[in-house]
Chains A and B, each alone.
Chain A
Amino acid sequence: MENKKFIEVKDLQKTYDNGHQAIKSVSFSVNKGDLVCLLGPSGCGKTTTLNMIAGLLAPTGGDILVEGKSMIHVEPKDRNIGYVFQNYALYPHMTVLQNVMFPLTVGKGKKSKNEAKKIAKRYMQLTHIEELADQKPGKLSGGQQQRVAIARALVQEPKILLMDEPLSNLDARLRLKIREEIRALVKEVGITTLFVTHDQEEALSIGDRIILFNEGTVQQNDTGDNLYLEPVNQFAANFIGNPVIDNFKVKVENDYVVGKGFKFAITDLKNERFKKTLQEGQTYTLSVRPENLLPLMTEVKIENDDHYLEADIEDIELIGRERVLKFTNDGNSERSLINLEHQVKRGDHLTFSFKLKRVYIFDDNGERVY
């Protein structure tokens, strides 16, 4: 079974008539049956890319291949794609059953009413909305509407399912529940799914792979773990993670990495993690996730105080079972994530330690050096 490269996007470009370059150059491929998230801040081109795959927008360059065949000149209706809009776009004058049946009862390949009903019922069973068959969408909760929209997108048995921010209209708690349901459902059906979201947590939890977009280009195409643990550039490091990653301005001086109030020898860093060599006299950004910059809570003997950074705590924020300590270093606001059990007050003077095997160093172009 050929499993590789079910969808292939090659050097896709989109420049709007007004000259706005929404997609500079986007290339990626998606394996059959995968649930892939297109993640990025608003305006990064993720929805534009999705719409070009759906055929709702014509690209100004590049190609989209599905199973090796170019889709560029194929009508949207012949692309074998199911689409779920952010607002679901359920037909309000039709019942749930009529909505789900609609795709089967229009166009050239329309089915008989009975057949359409049978297929619709099957997908309604799959999405657990059979008992809502005779209700109008306006009477349904957000989660129920979502399921109707998915059932309707699936009845034509498309090969690809595209979802544009399908959870953003739901409240926080429901969002968690529905995203699990969506994942379970598309895995059960086995359909290849592209899922657009601006919510990194959503992407990390639901996607087999995540394609991170920024300013019309792909920044990183990776698994969730890798995206978090091994960001390829400064943007990826800054975008992924909550609370956001800490950035320190550093300079390389006499084989030392020197920041404001701390320094450590280059030899303390792991050799195999270097992508490039550090240049003497150059400035870099040292990034570390807040959970890897921890205060020393007990009286530990400090052997080499170079790795340590002292700071006054300016603010404390609770997030669930963790505490975010905020402080300033060289004009940058920094955070440290500690367990809730540790008692820290505003104004405390603490010593923080870098977990050196978990720091990243980026050059001034945002490229990863270490």
Chain B
Amino acid sequence: MKQNQKKAWLFLAPILILVTVFSIWPIIRAFIMSFKGGPIINMQYNGLANYQYIFSDPDFWHAIANTAIYAFVTVPVALIISIALAWFVFSKIKHKTFFETMFFMPYVTSTIAIGIVFRYILNGKYGLLDYLLRAIHLPAPDWLDDPSMSIISLIMFGVWASLAFNIVILMGALRNIDPNYYVLADMYGASEMEKFWRITLPQLVPTITFLLTVNLIGAFKIYTQVYALFNGAAGQANSAMTAVFYIYNKFQVVNTPGVAMAATVVLFFIILLATFIQRKITKKVNS
């Protein structure tokens, strides 16, 4: 056993070195930098000043609030839609592979490219969505340029963008369910709904838990979607400012790396806490 362990370290070394250099060290570094002030080439310790700054910065709170709203709405909504679509395709559609490929397309397409298409769809003057809304005499808001609509547009974009990955993973999970479960359920006379709630959904729980965790972490780190949808800005009047956008802004634009790192550390703990709570809840639900 002991001999094996020594050798194991050797095999693990490449990945351990990579993870240390590119993941663990940056985390430690960010943590240290969050207690320093000044430009990146000459940073000096300034204690908790960075934290005092962000906690009293309304922009920071706005960014955190936006991020939380985005994450807690997008993730469940996207997941429910994904489950419904995956189940529908799996149980009712004949040419599954074709639909699966279609659903997976958005995942392999660049977010920036999708963002450009969405900008056309959501445009207040010539957008497709507003055209349709007007056609059925519904109010047609300016999705992109009205600050009060920014987060809603971002959520729509986020839900759509996360369907691809979710559906493909869920289809895989559905395929792994023993078809005999349904054969027997049919023989017992179970209805479609009974089969879904009592066999399919419980069988999907591990997958759903996984997707919930991955989606939630991803949602808290949202940046590209904002960048793509609002053409490099955080929406009109920073109305769609998210946590990572705030960090990027403080680091690259305003040139206060210490403040950016303090915000990073706070975001890190928020994600940690959110994931922890989510795991606790799913564990309780499972048992």
Are B184 and A89 touching (Cβ within 8 A)? yes
Q: Which of B187, B189, B203 contacts A93 (CB 8 A)?
A: B203
Q: Is A256 an interface residue (CB 8 A)?
A: no
**Looking across the interface, which residue of chain B has its beta carbon closest to that of A56?**
B183
Contacts of B205 in A (CB 8 A): 93
Answer whether residue B32 sits at the interface, using C-beta atoms and an 8 A cutoff.
no
Which stretch (B64-72, B130-138, B194-202) binds chain A?
A: B194-202
- In this assembly, does A85 line the interface, its C-beta being within 8 Å of a C-beta of chain B? yes
Whether A103 lies near B199 (C-beta < 8 A) is: no
Task: State the Cβ distance, A219 to closest chain B Cβ, in Å.
Answer: 29
A109 and B203 alpha carbons, distance in the complex (Å): 25
> Is A235 interfacial (CB-CB < 8 Å)?
no
Q: Which of B172-192 contact A (CB under 8 A)?
A: 178, 180-181, 183-191
Q: Do A107 and B188 have beta carbons less than 8 Å apart? A: yes
With A89-B178, A91-B199, A107-B191 in contact, do A83 and B184 touch (Cβ < 8 Å)? yes
Asked if A106 and B184 make an inter-chain contact with CB atoms under 8 angstroms apart, the answer reads: no
Complex CA–CA separation, A54 to B184 (angstroms):
11
Interface SS, B side: helix
Chain A: interface size category: 20 to 34
How far is B190's CA from A202's CA once the two chains are assembled, in angstroms?
Answer: 34
- Contact of A91 (CB < 8 Å), options: B181, B187, B189: B181
Please indicate the chain B residues that have their CB under 8 angstroms from the CB of A93 in the complex.
Answer: 202-203, 205
Choose from B181, B188, B203 the contact partner of A103 (Cβ within 8 Å). B188
Number of A-B contacts (CB under 8 A): 52
The answer to whether A353 has its CB under 8 Å from any CB of chain B is no
Q: Does A28 contact B (CB under 8 A)?
A: no
How many residues on the B side are at the interface (Cβ–Cβ under 8 A)? Answer: 18
Q: How long is the Cα–Cα vector from A83 to B203 in the complex, in angstroms?
A: 22
The reply to whether B183 and A77 contact each other, CB–CB distance below 8 Å, is no
Contact B202 A106 (CB under 8 A): no
| Closest residue of A by beta carbon distance from B190 | A106
Query: Which residue of A is nearest B180, CB measured?
Result: A89
Evaluate contact between A77 and B180: CB separation under 8 angstroms: no
Q: How far is the CB of B70 from chain A (nearest CB, A)?
A: 32
A97-129 Cβ-contact flags toward B at 8 Å (1 or 0): 000001100111100000000000000000000
CB pair A156 B178 closer than 8 Å: no
Whether A85 lies near B180 (C-beta < 8 A) is: yes
Question: Is A87 interfacial (CB-CB < 8 Å)?
Answer: yes
Query: Shortest Cβ distance from B286 into chain A, in angstroms?
Result: 9
Residues of B within 8 Å of A156, CB to CB, are: 188
Asked if B198 and A89 sit within 8 Å, CB to CB, the answer is no
Given A91-B199, A92-B203, A106-B198, 19 new contacts (CB under 8 A): A54-B187, A77-B188, A77-B189, A81-B187, A83-B183, A83-B184, A85-B180, A85-B183, A89-B184, A91-B202, A94-B202, A102-B185, A103-B188, A103-B189, A106-B185, A106-B190, A107-B190, A107-B194, A109-B189
